[in-house]
Structure 1
Amino acid sequence: MYERMVSNPGGLPKGMPEKDFGKYSLARNAILANLMQRAGYIEKLGTGITRIKQEVRKAGLPEVIFHYNYFFAVEFLRAKKRIKGSEKSSEKSSEKILRLISENKYITAEELARELGITQRAVEKNLANLKRNGGIDRIGPDKGGYWKIIKE
């Protein structure tokens, strides 16, 4: 049972043992890969598996599962919701935001809005209030930074 799977025909490249998966880069078509990189369609060769793992960890999501028998597939799982409906409705938005930040300090305003079922603008107002009242602080830039809870 998976949430979302991305797949492609073909397993691991011929001759690559499972233990080397994600450690070494081996393009199936080196000429095409080189052309796509020079054209700007590929940022870095051989970094995809590591970058997927890092971004998923940074987002606070469950680890992805890789399948590589006759198809190569990446299985993305959803984070489990930790609150029940009655608890959710009784919490204030600011309390919910603090709880979600405590679970994932890299969470974005967009993700908070989606999780809480409110607009991103409403989330941004709550975040501004929390910052003004000394409840949270933003460490680093909007992209790549994280939230620090000062007082709960």
Structure 2
Amino acid sequence: MFCNRNPLKVQAAVFAGKDKLTFLDINKFEGNVFELLDKSEKYIAQRINWRVQFGKLEREEIPEVPTKAVREALVNSVCHRDYTNTKENEIAIFKDRIEIYNPGDFPQGYRPQDFIKGKERSMPRNPLIAETLYKSREIEKWGSGLKRIHDECKASKVRVDFEVLKSGFLVIFYRPGEKVTEKVTKGLVEGLVEGLVENQKRILKLIQTNSHISKKELANKIGISSTAIDKNITSLKKKGLLRRVGPDKGGHWEVIEKSK
């Protein structure tokens, strides 16, 4: 589990709506425990919305769902997964929520709320994995996983639910939605959009909320072809309003502010 001789697997997907009828992206990661945690966290971070907050010295990118809570949920899913079960851990990103699932029974006779309130001690299904992650500082304190997720989300005003299923355990982060995103980005984008067509305005707004968004995702959200996306992006680059930082895979977009 901590080497690549017998790699672990995680299934990940992005869905167009609130169900699993249509997916925009599907992937499967392989690797040791540490690699899976990093790959899973990166996958989610690149596919959620980020808002930009300008401080006195520099701008700060803030995710719609707290990444510390996401990381903690991923660590929890690895520690409590039933590795005798052929079913794999799953990440599902929907329009309104993010789900992190692991197979394995929840401790019988207990509820998630018992651990969130700190009334009960941790009962790791895989003590060796938990001990190794604790020593590597992935786990800060024994038995605090669900409480940390809950507290991080409460501080960020993000709703989170914990569901005990017959087949396993599910952590659900609810996304704030496009209305919140629209409100956050409106002020910044309005200063850039003079002389732009409507699709170019929408491209800037979507990129401003998620700098890692792909051209395919832009096309799906706006409802135009990939060719049309390419033409509009080329136009925005020529106007000095948009640039690409880094490679196609692993890079990100950057909206350029006009000098006042």
TMscore range, shorter length? 0.5 to 0.7
Stretches of structure 2 that go unaligned for 5 or more consecutive residues are 9-27, 50-64, 71-97, 106-166, 183-196
Does the 8 Å contact 1:66/1:72 carry over to 2? no
- Percentage of pairs with the same residue: 24
Cα displacement (A) at 1:74:
6.2
Aligned-partner residue type, residue 49 of structure 1: L
Separation of aligned partners in 2, 1:104 and 1:114: 14
Matches within 5 A, 1:3-152: 25=1, 34=5, 43-46=30-33, 47-60=35-48, 62=65, 63=70, 64-68=98-102, 69-70=104-105, 71-72=167-168, 80-82=177-179, 92-151=198-257
Could you say if the C-alpha distance between residues 117 and 74 of structure 1 is closer, same or farther in structure 2, counting changes exceeding 3 Å?
Answer: farther
Separation of aligned partners in 1, 2:242 and 2:206: 12
TM-score, structure 2 length as denominator? 0.37
Out of 73-82 and 122-131, give the one that drifted further: 73-82
Does the 8 Å contact 2:219/2:226 carry over to 1? yes
Does the 8 Å contact 2:7/2:30 carry over to 1? no
Could you say if the C-alpha distance between residues 76 and 144 of structure 1 is closer, same or farther in structure 2, counting changes exceeding 3 Å?
Answer: farther
Separation of aligned partners in 2, 1:118 and 1:59: 20
Could you say if the C-alpha distance between residues 42 and 116 of structure 1 is closer, same or farther in structure 2, counting changes exceeding 3 Å?
Answer: closer
Aligned-partner residue type, residue 66 of structure 1: I
Deviations 1:8-54 (A, max 9, x none): xxxxxxxxxxxxxxxxx47xxx9xx83668xxx97422222332122
Stretches of structure 1 that go unaligned for 5 or more consecutive residues are 1-24, 84-90
Higher relative contact order (CA 8 A, sep 6+): 1
Separation of aligned partners in 2, 1:122 and 1:77: 33
Structure 2 residue matching 1:34: 3-state secondary structure: coil
Q: How many residues align?
A: 114
Does the 8 Å contact 2:241/2:256 carry over to 1? yes
Separation of aligned partners in 1, 2:174 and 2:228: 24
Q: Which has the higher strand share?
A: 2
Does the 8 Å contact 2:245/2:251 carry over to 1? yes
